[in-house]
Chain A
């Protein structure tokens, strides 16, 4: 890299508009990765097509050869018949969407995922049980059929819900399709025709105007002042000129090829810049088509939260199935009928499966997504909400993400001094010394030697936001001068332009001659700007403090120092000079002839340098610092040049002020790069070329060893490799980007974040999240929300799991001890899908317990959502307490009705006999079957109420995991109270409103039974407070390790 640096350096130094030409050194390699990848990807299906792409040499061919190759005529165009043939052969000029899973398959997938399969088993067992009952007794009760239907309904409803949520996230290909310009102007049968661009075929001659999108990959035949914006494809912010010349071996570097979907910029010249070209590739065979297939070829990674939920589902399903089978065996060996045992099995499954949880998680995530959307983070894939929280590496694109994607004047050099210009978004604060007369001259040159103009009709738009006709650097200069000097157009009017030589790559300067508004003498002023070394060559004097001084060696040296310094900042430097033409030689009537050059272009007066950069967004440095303190590594991955990349990285803090790269150390110690101890360097700048030669082990080493890394000159494929490298480090990787070239990496990343304003549609669609305000700082908000939601999901799950034991115990005890069934399966569903839903969602509104932005991101394999302490504490501590409390209510009700607990033991068989209608209780009273059934339902209701009351306590204790509830504030989260109220109201409605609907098996419970479990609830709260107290008192102790979830 060290050896390469000077060459790249020269790229920057050589000035304004010729980067492509001087880029030979690395340009060839720039897209190799992409090509290789295309090869891999297309190997199976599109081998021939790819061969063609590899051997793309159309840029080398002459017009004649092209005509031959494509059987077309540059003047006449294709014949319609030939075009139709080609269209039939090659297909329409559009990108084929990737094979989509049919909607019905997606829907069915939701029906069998997660707990669904368990519930289906339950439902089918219900129906089978009914079938068996029915075959032996025609009057068998339909209860089992109802239960089976309810279970099926639960699965279908949650499935529909999940499907709906998934369907909302859009598909990547739709975006690529959207980029296609609707119409194209094509010459066919020697007539100009407007046809839909889908119908373009290879060999068509098309005309593209400024402002249009390029309709296909085209070989430029002729062009007028055309520039294309390739930034979405390559990450270069500068517009690339396009002409018919063959300038580069690499088809991606040469000037005479325009790429599908890039934009032809509006030129400042009139008539508007146009390009005539021959279509050489259409549809999927275009470069963008290759990137598109690259992006869609990347499988969507499972999000960390999806993995966590899967893990959780496995745990719960494991528990459910093993307990179910265990008790099935126990029941059978206790001589229960197999049919009964099956019904127990169903009960156990239903009790164990938190039916409402997955829906709750979805709602919770979408609530957070909504909250984030308010903060300008639009979340497309719900699960991505959490992913950002567990992100440990952010790979950020530079252009448009970290930077404003707009050239801006950053430094000035005049009077032997470097001045800093304000590069913030509004330029409001220009503090450099404007009193010097040199500045007066310089500002005049900047104003006059500039062809950019504001578009009309923008009087009320702030200067920095005005649209400009002109290229990026001229725009930068125009806005810069407008901010400082005021009305530039007025100044230009007063200094009428009499002659002009526009910039071209051979001259490397731009020159114009103006009348002046100088009252002292009617002299012409010649102003010139261009590549600094070229400008300096033409100068013999230099202006210092308004005085002209001869340009000697020492001044030339200071010039070079300044030039190198600014260049080293990754900035594009322009030199400015002027000359007042003597009035006697050039009288007012003098006619300037730009072709004859009848005016001097040497011995000018050098005035100063201006350097421009695409400056970082002002919010970025702060956001990077915050990410750092949150333990997130920020890596820059850009297609731009290493020097620029490094400069921006330094200015935003991706490379911190005091850290050095190996090259920096070598430079400082003045030794060879090889001699530097690599461990001394904290930062690294790696280019695409170096990356290409690296094995994945070497990449891993770099990723692991350096804290601050910048990848420059990377291709889309290499971005993918980098993301994969990070993922090999077990990191959760976020990728931010805006260009088409970022879309494969965005897709590959655990979470892709696209820019909403600057971002291309492809990037937005490949991404999981869109930053609507393009503000990198929004990522910090996202991280915070993501971490919070992870914590809160833990709480929700702990809350939900707790009651499972209280729902399960009744069945176990029913089987073993033979009590009348304490709670029915339907009643359980009413808890899981009724009373508990709103409270568990309410936990999503809980505030963070401590500063979550100061801790490290969770390790995706170690910090699980559902870990052992959580399961143990929920199931065996609170869950068992809750079961006890609920049984207390149950026994109370039965005792008050006449059945003392001892009587109940092994009463089950007699109890359930339909023909026993005078069963004696503890007091000698006699009960009919229906009375008993009614009492059983009252028991269900009592048990339900017992769980409900204790779930309120459970909800309150789950507000925090470590802090005391009183530290957290009992009333800070109002939604919790909404949850509690809803719980009680739903409970009341079920008991008193639906108490007479026998199918639901609820009864009107006497009011005092609601309070039986209250002391138990208080006990639960107290118990949990003690747990939290010990966790806080003895961090790191056995208690902390086993009781903190």
Chain B
């Protein structure tokens, strides 16, 4: 996948190419050579420190693996065992399979919401359209790319529940799966052009930050669930999710990068807060739940979750 991305990059990104040519320094050739050597590596590596527990778990896993491999290697000459250890070591440093550096994975769900709200505080007064009009405009603007007509024209309808893998030439344009605005039902803005803001039932869209090459774990798709972060559980009362599965389907993965995957449309989950307590600030935490999803990182509060407050006045 990495290979695909890189050979793509050169022709379609003349400036990056020029940058290299312009720099007369030999160091740059070295830099290129470096890249060549890293054939198996990813273009995109984010290193995210995890909580200690997880790290320990992973380390344990490593140890177990090591033990296994050592058992297997017992019959072989010692030189071979050394080689194996070296491999384990280098795998610990950089594991291309799992894309882990020093046993830390760089892959995790990061989510963001729409519309934009300063400091993620949704303050508005239902009876004063001025206070929520900008949310509506923001959402409308954001959803322009999701219009059904556009989606049907540009993108393909691919089978759900599985990765939409497109092998073949790296610099070939990739097709994208449809995600239609109508999937969002009541939050699509089609029936209710104010996305519920005029009735004090705001829609908030959850989208995942795009990561090139990221594939969620197979199995049940990742689900979104929101609840009150602190305070009375019943302040929210009821939430409708659209699509009703409240999940990100596997068919939208992997992402091949904006150079080839031009029309890629990020999947969304709309959260419709239909009966939130009014006239008080309600802190809401929406978490992703599913296999292998991290959602409790302290430093980065957008990993697998998003926290915002709703303060709807009437």
- Chain A positions within 8 Å of B, measured between CB atoms, are 884-885, 888, 892, 895-898, 900-902, 915, 917-918, 920, 922-931, 934-935, 938, 996, 998, 1003-1004, 1006-1008, 1011-1016, 1019
Task: Say yes or no: A898-B44 contact (C-beta < 8 A), given A928-B300, A931-B110.
Answer: yes
- Chain B positions within 8 Å of A, measured between CB atoms, are 5, 13, 15-16, 19, 23, 25-28, 30-31, 34-35, 38, 43-49, 93-94, 101-102, 110, 112, 116, 118-120, 207, 209-212, 255, 257-259, 261, 264, 299-303
- Nearest to B94 among chain A residues (CB) is A1006
Q: Contacts of B102 on A, CB cut-off 8 Å?
A: 1004
Measured in the bound complex, the distance between the Cα atoms of B229 and A96 in whole Å is 77
Measured in the bound complex, the distance between the Cα atoms of B48 and A938 in whole Å is 12
Whether B257 pairs with A900 at a CB distance below 8 angstroms is no
Q: Select A1014's contact among B5, B30, B48, beta carbons within 8 Å.
A: B30
Measured in the bound complex, the distance between the Cα atoms of B107 and A590 in whole Å is 124
Q: Contacts of A920 on B, CB cut-off 8 Å?
A: 210, 258
Measured in the bound complex, the distance between the Cα atoms of B304 and A930 in whole Å is 13
- Nearest to A881 among chain B residues (CB) is B25
Measured in the bound complex, the distance between the Cα atoms of B297 and A998 in whole Å is 14
Given contacts A926-B110, A928-B302, 13 further A-B contacts (CB under 8 A): A897-B46, A902-B15, A902-B19, A915-B120, A923-B258, A923-B259, A924-B210, A928-B112, A929-B302, A935-B46, A1004-B102, A1012-B31, A1019-B25
Whether B257 pairs with A924 at a CB distance below 8 angstroms is yes
Q: How far is the CB of B111 from chain A (nearest CB, A)?
A: 9
- Nearest to B297 among chain A residues (CB) is A930
Q: Select A1019's contact among B5, B26, B303, beta carbons within 8 Å.
A: B26
Measured in the bound complex, the distance between the Cα atoms of B16 and A901 in whole Å is 8
Whether B300 pairs with A1007 at a CB distance below 8 angstroms is no
Measured in the bound complex, the distance between the Cα atoms of B237 and A894 in whole Å is 45
Q: Select B27's contact among A927, A938, A1008, A1013, beta carbons within 8 Å.
A: A1013
Measured in the bound complex, the distance between the Cα atoms of B82 and A145 in whole Å is 50
Q: How far is the CB of A136 from chain B (nearest CB, A)?
A: 14
Task: Say yes or no: A885-B302 contact (C-beta < 8 A), given A896-B45, A923-B43, A924-B212.
Answer: no
Q: Which 8 A-B pairs have the closest CB atoms?
A: A924-B258, A930-B300, A926-B209, A1015-B27, A923-B257, A928-B302, A918-B112, A900-B16
Whether A925 pairs with B26 at a CB distance below 8 angstroms is no
Whether A900 pairs with B300 at a CB distance below 8 angstroms is no
Q: Contacts of A996 on B, CB cut-off 8 Å?
A: 49
Measured in the bound complex, the distance between the Cα atoms of B198 and A513 in whole Å is 139
Measured in the bound complex, the distance between the Cα atoms of B185 and A244 in whole Å is 127
Whether A924 pairs with B16 at a CB distance below 8 angstroms is no
Q: Contacts of B38 on A, CB cut-off 8 Å?
A: 1008
Whether A925 pairs with B212 at a CB distance below 8 angstroms is yes
Task: Say yes or no: A1006-B101 contact (C-beta < 8 A), given A924-B210, A924-B258.
Answer: yes
Q: Contacts of B261 on A, CB cut-off 8 Å?
A: 924
Q: How far is the CB of A417 from chain B (nearest CB, A)?
A: 83
Measured in the bound complex, the distance between the Cα atoms of B301 and A29 in whole Å is 91
Task: Say yes or no: A925-B210 contact (C-beta < 8 A), given A900-B16, A934-B47, A1004-B102.
Answer: yes
Whether A1008 pairs with B46 at a CB distance below 8 angstroms is no
Whether B25 pairs with A924 at a CB distance below 8 angstroms is no
Whether B13 pairs with A900 at a CB distance below 8 angstroms is yes
Whether B120 pairs with A924 at a CB distance below 8 angstroms is no
Q: Contacts of A998 on B, CB cut-off 8 Å?
A: 299
Return 9 A-B CB contacts under 8 Å, by A number. A888-B25, A897-B44, A897-B45, A900-B19, A917-B112, A922-B16, A935-B46, A998-B299, A1019-B25
Q: Which of A923, A926, A938 has the most CB of B within 10 A?
A: A923
Measured in the bound complex, the distance between the Cα atoms of B43 and A900 in whole Å is 11
Q: Select A888's contact among B27, B48, B94, B300, beta carbons within 8 Å.
A: B27
Q: How far is the CB of B7 from chain A (nearest CB, A)?
A: 14
Q: Select A1015's contact among B15, B30, B299, beta carbons within 8 Å.
A: B30
- Nearest to B27 among chain A residues (CB) is A1015
Measured in the bound complex, the distance between the Cα atoms of B101 and A896 in whole Å is 14
- Nearest to A928 among chain B residues (CB) is B302
Task: Say yes or no: A1016-B25 contact (C-beta < 8 A), given A897-B44, A898-B43, A1011-B34.
Answer: yes
- Nearest to B257 among chain A residues (CB) is A923
Measured in the bound complex, the distance between the Cα atoms of B303 and A259 in whole Å is 89
Q: Contacts of A892 on B, CB cut-off 8 Å?
A: 31
- Nearest to B116 among chain A residues (CB) is A915
Measured in the bound complex, the distance between the Cα atoms of B261 and A924 in whole Å is 9
- Nearest to B34 among chain A residues (CB) is A1008
Task: Say yes or no: A926-B28 contact (C-beta < 8 A), given A902-B15, A917-B302, A1012-B34.
Answer: no
Task: Say yes or no: A930-B27 contact (C-beta < 8 A), given A923-B44, A1003-B47.
Answer: no
Measured in the bound complex, the distance between the Cα atoms of B199 and A426 in whole Å is 114
Whether B211 pairs with A925 at a CB distance below 8 angstroms is yes
Task: Say yes or no: A918-B119 contact (C-beta < 8 A), given A924-B264, A1016-B25.
Answer: no
Measured in the bound complex, the distance between the Cα atoms of B25 and A1015 in whole Å is 9
Whether B19 pairs with A1015 at a CB distance below 8 angstroms is no
Measured in the bound complex, the distance between the Cα atoms of B31 and A888 in whole Å is 9
